[in-house]
């Protein structure tokens, strides 16, 4: 999925595009914030319910077969003060949408994630029910 990404920012762009496609083809209205100063990447609306979505990508495959998605920020845009910010602690995120290198996609409610986690490992039994489908860049989205 990410083999054509020249850096992690491009990998994130791919993940965001996949997330927009998934939400759009599954009946959500997708809104994109004008700036990147907020904790979420997308606002999605389905039948009047608004959700703030943080999109993450996972390219690191663990020996267990699970993909590791980091959910902390070390101060993007050169603003790091030495303290990691855990996205799982933000009151401004309702769910994580994780796109893995194998194309699998997960929609994980933030309420299901521990507050001090620095990563979410998907692909195993724990988040199996949160898998929403697989994206293949050569075909349409499937769920």
Percentage of the chain modeled with pLDDT above 90: 43
Give me Rg for the CA atoms of the chain: 15
Using pLDDT thresholds of 50, 70 and 90, give the confidence band for residue 80: very low
Are the beta carbons of 53 and 95 closer than 8 angstroms?
yes
Using pLDDT thresholds of 50, 70 and 90, give the confidence band for residue 123: confident
Average pLDDT of span 95-120: 88
pLDDT at site 50? 97
| Residue whose pair of structure tokens reads 């390219």 in the numeric block | 59
pTM of the shown model:
0.84
* DSSP letter (8 states) at residue 66: P
Using pLDDT thresholds of 50, 70 and 90, give the confidence band for residue 124: confident
Q: Is the pLDDT at 100 greater than 80, yes or no?
A: yes
Using pLDDT thresholds of 50, 70 and 90, give the confidence band for residue 45: very high
What six digits make up the tokens of 42?
A: 């997308």
């Amino acid at each position: 999925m990410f083999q054509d990404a020249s850096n992690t920012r491009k990998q994130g762009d791919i993940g965001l595009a996949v997330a927009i496609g998934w939400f759009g083809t599954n009946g959500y209205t997708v809104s994109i914030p004008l700036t990147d100063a907020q904790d979420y990447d997308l606002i999605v609306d389905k039948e009047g319910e608004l959700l703030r979505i943080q999109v993450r990508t996972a390219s690191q495959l663990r020996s267990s077969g699970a993909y590791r998605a980091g959910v902390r920020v070390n101060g993007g845009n050169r603003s790091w003060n030495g303290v990691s910010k855990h996205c799982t602690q933000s009151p401004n995120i309702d769910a994580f949408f994780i796109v893995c290198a194998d194309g699998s996609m997960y929609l994980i409610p933030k309420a299901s994630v521990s507050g001090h986690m620095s990563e979410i490992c998907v692909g195993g039994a724990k988040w199996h029910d949160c898998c929403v489908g697989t994206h293949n860049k050569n075909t349409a989205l499937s769920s």
